[in-house]
Each structure stands twice: as C-alpha cells, then as structure tokens.
Homo-oligomer: A and B are copies of this chain.
Amino acid sequence: MRVVSLMRLGDEETRLREQFPEVTFEFYKHPAELPKETQKEMDVLISYHSAVNAAFIEAAPNLKWIAWYATGVNSLPLDLLQKRGIKLTNGKGVHAQQLSEWLFAYILDDFKQLKAVYNEQKDRQFNGKRMSKTLDNATILFLGTGVIPQRAAQIAKVFGMRTIGLNTSGHSAPHFDETYRLADRQQWYQQADVVVNVLPETKETYHLLALDDFKAMDPETLFINIGRGTVVSTDVLVEALKEKIIRAAYLDVFEVEPLPADSPLYDLDNAYLTSHITGNGADNRVKATQIFKNNFAHFLNNKTLIENVVDLNKGY
C-alpha cells in the first residue's frame, strides 16, 4: 500500500507513519517532484493541487482513492474518476470555522461602516452621532445549506438574525429558520438584507445567478460570495454593482483566479475584494489529516470510506 502526498504535512507525517506502520508514505513538496514510477504504483493520493488533472490520473493506473484536502472538487476530472472507479473524499467541514468568521468580518465591516469610521480617525474627527445598522432582526439568505452555511447560520442566530437557506429540494437544515428550493430563489430575495453564496461549482451552479437574480433582490442588498466565483459571470456582477441594482458586494472568489489586475471589479466603489483567502487556516492540514486517518483505518480494513465522501455525480 503506497500513499503519496503532493504536499508536506509537517508533524502529521510522523504521526501517520506511527499510526500505520505497514504503509509506505511519501511526501513531496510539489507535484513536479513526484517520480513517474511512484505515480504509476501509488494506491492513494493526498493533494489539492491543480496539477491533478486527467493526464495526471491517466498516469496513475493503480490509484484507488484521492483524499482531496480542499472542499471544492470542481478542478478534478470527475467523469474520469467515475469511469476508473476512483473514490474521492474532500475537506468539507475543515474550512467552516474560518469561512464563517470571514463572513461575519465582512458583514460587520459593512454594517458598522468601519471604512468610513477609520477615515474619520485619519482626519482626527470625533463624530459621536454616527448611527449603524444592527444584525439583530436582519435577514440573511444563504445559497446552499451544507456544513459551512450551517455553521455560519448558527452564528447568525446568536446575533439575532433570521436565517433562510436555499437548497435543491428545499429540505430543512440545522440553524435555518426557513429553507426553500433553490429554483424558487427569486421569490425569497426581497426578504434578505444579506445574500451569501456558498454553493460548490457544479454543472448546475455554473453561471446560476443571472442579472434577473440581482434585479429580484432589494436595492439595499449586500451580496457576499465565499463559494465559487463561477456562480455568476463577471459581466453580470459588474453590471449589478455599477448600476447599483444592489448596494454592495464582498467577494472572495472570482470567475477567473487569480483576479487579473485589470478586472473591472477593481474599478467599482461598492465591491470589496479578497484573494480567495477565507478558507486559509494554519490548522487546516491537521484537521484534513484527521479526516484522512479516520477514513484510512476503514480503507485498510474493508476498502470503504466513512467521512466526506464526494458523490461524483453531484460534484460535492
């Protein structure tokens, strides 16, 4: 049994070897360092590197399982994995805390007008009359009701917000006051002060949000995207913001990444942009390795995986 990781895992490397002494573990700093012979023989792959494409999989005929350390699996050739019978797990849950913290950093930055406040500080102005909106009683609508939006909705509830979640079937989910079908989304937008996209990238979510979606929202809406940038085309997003169809947006993900320096998004005065960093966390690899260990113990015993298994048809 050969397990290959396309990144170094620090102290976790020793722990893996101790816990599974009969297994050969190899850790490479970069996919380019992986010997062709090893690629041919490896049984299990740990990675979230974009180098893992169809050609890479073709050159790994013995591969049985990819332990993907990110949550989004859209860069992988899912059809090929399915054809080859290669299992796939992801890092779902590992990033829920970080993404939720960033989400509330964005919302509070907006609601408390922090940028205007600190401009006053630069001007040495004391403006005791400033009044800011409260999260209390505001409504937040999530596109998606999975592990990440559930964690975020839990925090939203404690702040006193009303939580609406949209998913394929409209099924209920923890920490959501109401859930509806994603297909009916345009009839619920008006209720929301904040609309958050947390959907994965799939065939169904690619360019899901059209200009009509933004037109169906309240003009005061704050839109936040911490899911995948491809849920809306840059053109639509720029028009919605430039024409003030909605009030403002905080965006961490983009249709094309890295975001080109000449992107029209940079020219807007109501778009706040971060660099796909809301999932970054110092202990992400430790947490993802814990999921790997739980799965690997079962995999060695009976070839089954118990956590974070990706449905290759759905893509999440």
List A residues at the B interface (Cβ < 8 Å). 97-98, 101-102, 104-105, 108-109, 111-112, 114-115, 117-118, 120-121, 124-132, 134-136, 154-155, 158-160, 257-259, 261, 263, 266, 272-277, 280-282
30 A-B residue pairs with Cβ-Cβ distance under 8 Å, sorted by A, are: A97-B134, A97-B136, A98-B132, A101-B108, A101-B134, A102-B112, A104-B104, A105-B114, A108-B108, A109-B114, A114-B114, A115-B118, A117-B275, A118-B272, A121-B266, A121-B272, A124-B263, A124-B266, A125-B275, A126-B259, A126-B275, A128-B257, A128-B258, A128-B276, A129-B280, A130-B275, A131-B281, A132-B280, A154-B158, A158-B158
**Given A120-B275, A124-B266; A105-B109 close (CB under 8 Å):** yes
| A130: B residues at CB distance < 8 A | 275, 277, 280
Q: Is the interface of A mostly helix, strand, loop or mixed?
A: loop
Cβ of A273: which chain B residues have Cβ within 8 Å of it? 121
B120, B136, B155, B280: the one contacting A159 at CB < 8 Å is: B155
Q: Determine the distance from Cα of A277 to Cα of B113 in the docked complex, in whole angstroms.
A: 12
- Number of chain copies forming the complex: 2
Q: Chain B residue with minimal CB distance to A254?
A: B126
> What CA separation (Å) do A268 and B141 show in the bound complex?
40
- Neighbouring B residues of A104 by C-beta, 8 Å: 104, 108
| A257–B128 alpha-carbon span in the complex (Å) | 10
Contact B121 A281, beta carbon cutoff 8 Å: no
Are the CB atoms of A135 and B101 closer together than 8 Å?
yes
Q: List B contacts of A259 (CB < 8 A).
A: 126
A123: nearest chain-B partner, CB-CB? B261
Enumerate chain B residues within 8 angstroms of A281, measured Cβ to Cβ: 131-132, 134
